[in-house]
Amino acid sequence: MGVPLENRIRADPEPQPGNDWLRPREASQPVSERIGRWLLQEWVWVFLVGYGLFVGLPWLAPVLMHLGWEIPARGLYDFYSLFCHQLPQRSLFLFGLKPMYSLNEIRQVWPYEDPLQLRAFIGNPTFGYKVAWSDRMISMYTSLWATALLYALSGRRWRPISVGLFFLLALPMTLDGTSHFINDLLYGIGERGFRYDNVWLAVLTGGRLPSWFYVGDALGSFNSWMRWITGILFGAGLGGLALPYVEAAVRATLEDPVPSRRYP
């Protein structure tokens, strides 16, 4: 005689917590659904890989130019020009004499001041080749990626920063970028205007700092520091605000019962 059906059901082992993937409901799901569920569960690592490629590929453009692979390099410059002004005097250069050049130095080999023509200068064997991001874009996009990495390594347990704090972190970049934009409208891209010489800053500081610190966009100047710092603050603030909300939305989609990751 066989064992009664109800006894066999009672004798079946309970699914173990660590073997969720063995549950009949999930095992019966199509492969595409299981892959989609896994991508949601590991969304932050998927983001780090995909967004990391987006952030890192601009550095490949000067490498390709240096190796003589001009067509793929120019493809990268063209693509990233959709996201960045790529003005050479505000960009880093690789494989050249200096990491950054003034507009006056660039004019020696590229005698243009119109922004559309100026941004087309990607470098040469002597100057090296510019990264397809400007310095502000490097700091902003990379700091967001770094914040996501810290969030993933922390176990995704941060609570989001307040909207007020995010706007406070974004305010310096807004002021810096807007003042540069106004300066360029009033005086053009050339080496002139209140955001080129920063006389107002020299007055505020009593001229105690070296003269090169106040003038221009060179690496280490006031303008350069402001673009790096404000970009980092914005990227970190955006990550601190958005990443926990994305996690909460994903957990809600997956019907995760952990209340600590649901945010109002």
CA 194/CA 184 separation, integer angstroms: 10
In this prediction, residue 11 carries a pLDDT of 47
pLDDT tens-digit readout, 75-100: 999 999 999 999 999 999 999 999 99
pLDDT tens-digit readout, 32-60: 778 878 888 899 999 999 999 999 999 99
Among the residue ranges 26-40, 66-80, 148-162, the one predicted with the least confidence is: 26-40
> Which two structure tokens, joined as six digits, stand for 116?
């559309």
Listed in sequence order, the residues at least 6 apart from 192 whose beta carbon sits closer than 8 Å to its beta carbon are: none
Average pLDDT estimate for 185-191: 86
Average pLDDT estimate for 132-139: 96
Q: Which value, to the nearest 10 degrees, does the dihedral of the CA atoms of residues 169, 60, 100, 126 take? A: -170
> Which two structure tokens, joined as six digits, stand for 77?
């410059």
In this prediction, residue 21 carries a pLDDT of 44
Return mean pLDDT, the chain: 87
The long-range contacts involving 237-240, CB below 8 angstroms and separated by at least 24 positions, are 237/161, 237/165, 237/166, 237/168, 237/169, 237/170, 238/144, 238/147, 238/166, 238/170, 239/143, 239/144, 239/147, 239/148, 239/151, 240/147, 240/158, 240/160, 240/161, 240/165, 240/166
% pLDDT > 90, the chain: 71
Among the residue ranges 160-169, 237-246, 255-264, the one predicted with the least confidence is: 255-264
Among the residue ranges 68-77, 156-165, 250-259, the one predicted with the least confidence is: 250-259
**How big is the chain, counted in residues?**
264
Q: Is the pLDDT of residue 73 over 70?
A: yes
pTM over 0.85, yes/no: no
Average pLDDT estimate for 12-18: 47
The tokens 């006894």 sit on which residue?
7
Q: How confident is the model at residue 262 (pLDDT cuts 50, 70, 90)?
A: low
